[in-house]
Amino acid sequence: MIKIQNNQYKVIDAHLHLPWQDEFSTTEKKLERLQKEMRNNGIDYGILIADSILESNIGNNEECLCAVSNVNNLFLVFGISPIERLGEQLLYCEKLLKDNKVVGIKLFPGHEDFCMNDPRIKDVINLCLKYEVPLLIHTEWNSEEYPQYSHPFFIKQLAQSNSDLNIICCHVWNPRVIESLKLTQEFSNIFYDISSFCMGKQFFREHPKTLFPSKEKATEYLRYLMKICSERVLFGSDYGSLSIAEHLELVLEAGLKGDELRTILYKNANNIFKLGFPNC
Protein backbone atom coordinates (compact mmCIF):
# COMPACT_ATOMS: atom_id res chain seq x y z
CA MET A 1 0.00 0.00 0.00
CA ILE A 2 1.27 3.46 -0.85
CA LYS A 3 0.27 6.89 0.45
CA ILE A 4 -0.51 9.69 -2.00
CA GLN A 5 -1.76 13.06 -0.78
CA ASN A 6 -2.98 11.60 2.53
CA ASN A 7 -4.85 8.77 0.79
CA GLN A 8 -3.89 5.10 0.97
CA TYR A 9 -3.83 3.01 -2.23
CA LYS A 10 -3.41 -0.72 -2.54
CA VAL A 11 -1.13 -1.83 -5.38
CA ILE A 12 -1.03 -4.93 -7.56
CA ASP A 13 2.04 -5.18 -9.78
CA ALA A 14 0.68 -7.10 -12.78
CA HIS A 15 4.06 -7.83 -14.37
CA LEU A 16 6.76 -9.32 -12.18
CA HIS A 17 9.57 -11.78 -12.81
CA LEU A 18 12.10 -13.36 -10.53
CA PRO A 19 15.36 -11.39 -10.68
CA TRP A 20 17.83 -12.76 -13.21
CA GLN A 21 21.12 -11.45 -11.81
CA ASP A 22 23.83 -14.02 -11.00
CA GLU A 23 23.93 -13.04 -7.32
CA PHE A 24 20.49 -14.65 -6.90
CA SER A 25 21.56 -18.19 -7.64
CA THR A 26 18.55 -20.12 -6.33
CA THR A 27 14.78 -19.76 -6.55
CA GLU A 28 14.72 -19.09 -2.80
CA LYS A 29 17.18 -16.19 -3.12
CA LYS A 30 15.28 -14.80 -6.11
CA LEU A 31 12.00 -14.94 -4.21
CA GLU A 32 13.54 -13.33 -1.14
CA ARG A 33 14.80 -10.41 -3.23
CA LEU A 34 11.45 -10.02 -5.02
CA GLN A 35 9.58 -9.96 -1.72
CA LYS A 36 11.98 -7.32 -0.38
CA GLU A 37 11.41 -5.11 -3.44
CA MET A 38 7.65 -5.49 -3.09
CA ARG A 39 7.76 -4.51 0.60
CA ASN A 40 10.07 -1.55 -0.04
CA ASN A 41 7.73 -0.19 -2.72
CA GLY A 42 4.39 -0.82 -1.05
CA ILE A 43 3.26 -3.58 -3.43
CA ASP A 44 0.44 -5.57 -1.84
CA TYR A 45 0.16 -8.33 -4.44
CA GLY A 46 1.97 -9.34 -7.60
CA ILE A 47 1.50 -11.37 -10.77
CA LEU A 48 4.60 -13.52 -11.24
CA ILE A 49 5.16 -14.44 -14.89
CA ALA A 50 7.11 -17.60 -15.64
CA ASP A 51 9.32 -17.99 -18.68
CA SER A 52 8.23 -20.32 -21.48
CA ILE A 53 11.56 -22.16 -21.69
CA LEU A 54 12.96 -24.76 -19.32
CA GLU A 55 16.36 -23.17 -18.74
CA SER A 56 15.64 -19.61 -17.67
CA ASN A 57 17.27 -17.15 -15.32
CA ILE A 58 13.84 -15.64 -14.50
CA GLY A 59 12.37 -19.02 -13.61
CA ASN A 60 10.46 -21.65 -15.55
CA ASN A 61 6.92 -22.70 -14.66
CA GLU A 62 7.91 -25.22 -12.00
CA GLU A 63 10.32 -22.79 -10.33
CA CYS A 64 7.80 -19.95 -10.33
CA LEU A 65 5.07 -22.28 -9.05
CA CYS A 66 7.37 -23.18 -6.18
CA ALA A 67 7.92 -19.49 -5.47
CA VAL A 68 4.23 -18.52 -5.36
CA SER A 69 3.41 -21.59 -3.27
CA ASN A 70 5.65 -20.30 -0.49
CA VAL A 71 3.98 -16.88 -0.11
CA ASN A 72 0.45 -15.48 -0.03
CA ASN A 73 0.93 -12.34 -2.11
CA LEU A 74 1.95 -13.73 -5.51
CA PHE A 75 -0.11 -15.32 -8.30
CA LEU A 76 1.27 -17.34 -11.22
CA VAL A 77 1.02 -16.67 -14.94
CA PHE A 78 2.06 -19.77 -16.89
CA GLY A 79 4.59 -19.13 -19.69
CA ILE A 80 3.97 -21.35 -22.71
CA SER A 81 5.82 -21.98 -25.98
CA PRO A 82 4.07 -23.16 -29.16
CA ILE A 83 7.41 -24.16 -30.65
CA GLU A 84 8.36 -27.23 -28.62
CA ARG A 85 6.76 -29.61 -26.10
CA LEU A 86 3.40 -27.90 -26.68
CA GLY A 87 1.25 -30.91 -25.84
CA GLU A 88 3.20 -31.55 -22.65
CA GLN A 89 2.92 -27.92 -21.62
CA LEU A 90 -0.82 -27.78 -22.29
CA LEU A 91 -1.43 -30.83 -20.09
CA TYR A 92 0.65 -29.40 -17.25
CA CYS A 93 -0.97 -25.97 -17.54
CA GLU A 94 -4.47 -27.44 -17.53
CA LYS A 95 -3.71 -29.43 -14.39
CA LEU A 96 -2.63 -26.22 -12.65
CA LEU A 97 -5.69 -24.38 -13.95
CA LYS A 98 -7.97 -27.10 -12.55
CA ASP A 99 -6.25 -26.68 -9.19
CA ASN A 100 -6.64 -22.85 -9.33
CA LYS A 101 -2.88 -22.37 -9.29
CA VAL A 102 -2.68 -20.27 -12.47
CA VAL A 103 -4.38 -16.91 -13.16
CA GLY A 104 -3.25 -16.39 -16.77
CA ILE A 105 -1.16 -17.74 -19.64
CA LYS A 106 1.59 -15.83 -21.46
CA LEU A 107 3.02 -16.13 -24.95
CA PHE A 108 6.40 -14.62 -25.88
CA PRO A 109 6.36 -13.81 -29.63
CA GLY A 110 9.59 -12.04 -30.49
CA HIS A 111 11.43 -13.72 -27.65
CA GLU A 112 10.56 -16.87 -29.56
CA ASP A 113 10.30 -17.27 -33.31
CA PHE A 114 6.56 -17.28 -33.93
CA CYS A 115 3.93 -14.69 -34.81
CA MET A 116 0.53 -14.14 -33.25
CA ASN A 117 -1.21 -15.48 -36.34
CA ASP A 118 0.55 -18.84 -35.92
CA PRO A 119 -2.04 -21.69 -35.97
CA ARG A 120 -0.13 -23.46 -33.19
CA ILE A 121 -1.41 -20.96 -30.60
CA LYS A 122 -5.05 -22.00 -31.10
CA ASP A 123 -4.87 -24.63 -28.36
CA VAL A 124 -3.46 -22.03 -25.98
CA ILE A 125 -6.35 -19.68 -26.77
CA ASN A 126 -8.85 -22.49 -26.23
CA LEU A 127 -7.34 -23.23 -22.82
CA CYS A 128 -7.71 -19.58 -21.81
CA LEU A 129 -11.33 -19.59 -22.96
CA LYS A 130 -12.13 -22.87 -21.21
CA TYR A 131 -10.83 -21.67 -17.83
CA GLU A 132 -11.68 -17.98 -18.33
CA VAL A 133 -8.18 -16.68 -17.74
CA PRO A 134 -6.50 -13.87 -19.72
CA LEU A 135 -3.92 -14.39 -22.44
CA LEU A 136 -0.84 -12.22 -21.91
CA ILE A 137 1.28 -11.36 -24.95
CA HIS A 138 4.77 -9.90 -25.17
CA THR A 139 4.30 -6.88 -27.47
CA GLU A 140 7.47 -4.82 -27.48
CA TRP A 141 8.10 -3.43 -30.97
CA ASN A 142 11.12 -5.08 -32.58
CA SER A 143 13.78 -3.33 -34.61
CA GLU A 144 12.62 -2.60 -38.13
CA GLU A 145 14.89 -5.26 -39.65
CA TYR A 146 13.10 -7.98 -37.67
CA PRO A 147 9.54 -9.34 -38.10
CA GLN A 148 6.91 -7.72 -35.91
CA TYR A 149 5.92 -10.97 -34.22
CA SER A 150 3.12 -9.39 -32.18
CA HIS A 151 2.10 -6.66 -34.62
CA PRO A 152 -1.06 -4.87 -33.42
CA PHE A 153 -2.86 -6.03 -36.55
CA PHE A 154 -2.44 -9.65 -35.36
CA ILE A 155 -3.79 -8.73 -31.91
CA LYS A 156 -6.73 -6.91 -33.51
CA GLN A 157 -7.57 -10.04 -35.52
CA LEU A 158 -7.26 -12.18 -32.39
CA ALA A 159 -9.62 -9.92 -30.44
CA GLN A 160 -12.15 -9.85 -33.27
CA SER A 161 -12.17 -13.63 -33.63
CA ASN A 162 -12.34 -14.33 -29.89
CA SER A 163 -14.60 -11.77 -28.26
CA ASP A 164 -14.71 -13.74 -24.98
CA LEU A 165 -10.92 -13.83 -24.71
CA ASN A 166 -9.33 -11.16 -22.53
CA ILE A 167 -5.95 -10.18 -23.99
CA ILE A 168 -3.27 -8.30 -22.04
CA CYS A 169 -0.72 -6.53 -24.23
CA CYS A 170 2.41 -6.42 -22.09
CA HIS A 171 4.55 -3.32 -22.75
CA VAL A 172 1.96 -1.79 -25.17
CA TRP A 173 4.31 -2.19 -28.16
CA ASN A 174 6.81 0.18 -26.57
CA PRO A 175 8.15 2.39 -28.13
CA ARG A 176 5.46 2.44 -30.87
CA VAL A 177 2.71 2.98 -28.32
CA ILE A 178 0.33 5.52 -29.86
CA GLU A 179 0.12 4.07 -33.37
CA SER A 180 -0.43 0.59 -31.91
CA LEU A 181 -3.17 1.83 -29.60
CA LYS A 182 -5.00 3.39 -32.51
CA LEU A 183 -5.23 -0.05 -34.12
CA THR A 184 -6.46 -1.85 -31.00
CA GLN A 185 -8.13 0.54 -28.55
CA GLU A 186 -11.67 -0.04 -29.86
CA PHE A 187 -11.74 -3.62 -28.57
CA SER A 188 -13.08 -3.96 -25.03
CA ASN A 189 -11.30 -7.30 -24.58
CA ILE A 190 -7.82 -5.82 -25.14
CA PHE A 191 -6.01 -4.64 -22.01
CA TYR A 192 -2.63 -2.95 -21.61
CA ASP A 193 0.08 -3.23 -18.95
CA ILE A 194 2.60 -0.40 -18.72
CA SER A 195 5.62 -2.53 -17.79
CA SER A 196 8.85 -1.34 -19.45
CA PHE A 197 7.57 2.24 -19.84
CA CYS A 198 10.49 3.22 -17.56
CA MET A 199 13.67 1.70 -18.92
CA GLY A 200 15.83 3.40 -16.29
CA LYS A 201 18.63 5.98 -16.28
CA GLN A 202 21.40 3.44 -16.83
CA PHE A 203 19.68 2.10 -19.97
CA PHE A 204 19.52 5.57 -21.50
CA ARG A 205 23.17 6.23 -20.65
CA GLU A 206 24.16 2.98 -22.37
CA HIS A 207 21.79 3.44 -25.34
CA PRO A 208 21.68 7.18 -26.11
CA LYS A 209 20.10 6.60 -29.54
CA THR A 210 17.36 4.29 -28.31
CA LEU A 211 13.79 4.71 -29.53
CA PHE A 212 12.41 3.84 -26.11
CA PRO A 213 10.60 6.85 -24.63
CA SER A 214 12.02 9.20 -22.04
CA LYS A 215 10.20 9.36 -18.72
CA GLU A 216 8.45 12.53 -19.89
CA LYS A 217 7.26 10.88 -23.11
CA ALA A 218 6.19 7.74 -21.23
CA THR A 219 4.13 9.95 -18.91
CA GLU A 220 2.36 11.36 -21.97
CA TYR A 221 1.64 7.81 -23.18
CA LEU A 222 0.17 6.89 -19.80
CA ARG A 223 -2.07 9.96 -19.74
CA TYR A 224 -3.32 9.07 -23.22
CA LEU A 225 -4.01 5.48 -22.15
CA MET A 226 -5.98 6.60 -19.11
CA LYS A 227 -7.93 9.07 -21.21
CA ILE A 228 -9.11 6.53 -23.80
CA CYS A 229 -9.46 3.29 -21.82
CA SER A 230 -8.77 3.71 -18.10
CA GLU A 231 -10.68 0.52 -17.20
CA ARG A 232 -8.22 -1.53 -19.29
CA VAL A 233 -4.84 -0.25 -18.08
CA LEU A 234 -2.77 -2.26 -15.58
CA PHE A 235 0.16 -1.17 -13.47
CA GLY A 236 3.19 -3.37 -14.07
CA SER A 237 6.93 -2.85 -13.65
CA ASP A 238 8.76 -5.75 -15.36
CA TYR A 239 10.80 -6.33 -12.20
CA GLY A 240 13.34 -8.15 -11.93
CA SER A 241 14.82 -6.38 -14.95
CA LEU A 242 13.35 -2.94 -14.36
CA SER A 243 12.47 -0.78 -11.37
CA ILE A 244 9.20 -0.94 -9.46
CA ALA A 245 9.94 2.46 -7.91
CA GLU A 246 10.43 4.19 -11.27
CA HIS A 247 7.18 2.78 -12.64
CA LEU A 248 5.33 3.99 -9.54
CA GLU A 249 6.90 7.42 -10.00
CA LEU A 250 5.61 7.45 -13.57
CA VAL A 251 2.05 6.87 -12.37
CA LEU A 252 2.36 9.59 -9.74
CA GLU A 253 3.83 12.10 -12.19
CA ALA A 254 0.98 11.50 -14.66
CA GLY A 255 -1.28 13.52 -12.35
CA LEU A 256 -3.85 10.78 -11.85
CA LYS A 257 -6.35 11.29 -9.06
CA GLY A 258 -8.48 9.22 -6.70
CA ASP A 259 -10.47 6.66 -8.66
CA GLU A 260 -7.99 6.75 -11.56
CA LEU A 261 -5.20 5.68 -9.23
CA ARG A 262 -7.30 2.92 -7.67
CA THR A 263 -8.24 1.71 -11.14
CA ILE A 264 -4.74 1.40 -12.59
CA LEU A 265 -2.91 0.40 -9.42
CA TYR A 266 -5.35 -2.20 -8.13
CA LYS A 267 -8.88 -2.58 -9.45
CA ASN A 268 -8.17 -3.53 -13.08
CA ALA A 269 -5.68 -6.27 -12.19
CA ASN A 270 -7.91 -7.58 -9.42
CA ASN A 271 -10.76 -7.89 -11.90
CA ILE A 272 -9.06 -9.33 -14.97
CA PHE A 273 -7.08 -11.92 -13.00
CA LYS A 274 -10.13 -12.69 -10.82
CA LEU A 275 -8.13 -12.45 -7.62
CA GLY A 276 -11.28 -11.98 -5.56
CA PHE A 277 -10.19 -9.08 -3.38
CA PRO A 278 -12.60 -6.22 -2.51
CA ASN A 279 -12.23 -3.30 -4.93
CA CYS A 280 -11.67 -0.76 -2.20
pLDDT of residue 3: 76
Q: Is the pLDDT of residue 208 over 90?
A: no
- On the question of pLDDT at 6 being above 90, the answer is no
Concatenating the DSSP letter of every residue in 73-127 gives SEEEEEE--SSSSHHHHHHHHHHHHHTT--SEEEE-BTTBS--TT-GGGHHHHHH
Question: Which residue would you say has higher pLDDT here, 202 or 181?
Answer: 181
What's the DSSP call for residue 239? B
Q: Decide: pTM greater than 0.85.
A: yes
% of the chain exceeding 70 in pLDDT: 96
| Confidence (pLDDT) at 99 | 97
* Cβ partners under 8 Å of residue 57, min gap 6: 20
- The full set of domain ranges for the chain reads 11-239+260-272
pLDDT band at 207 (very low <50, low <70, confident <90, very high): confident
What is the arithmetic mean of pLDDT over 157-174? 96
Confidence of residue 167 (pLDDT cuts 50, 70, 90): very high
Long-range pairs for 241-244 at CB < 8 Å and ≥24 separation?
Answer: 241/17, 241/20, 242/195, 242/196, 242/198, 242/199, 242/200, 243/198, 243/200, 244/13, 244/37, 244/38, 244/41, 244/43
Q: What is the pLDDT of residues 31-41, one digit of tens each?
A: 999 999 999 99
What is the dotted CATH code of the domain comprising 11-239+260-272? 3.20.20.140
Give the model's confidence band at 142: pLDDT under 50 very low, under 70 low, under 90 confident, else very high. Answer: low
pLDDT at 103: 98
Residue 78 φ/ψ, nearest 5 degrees: -85, 125
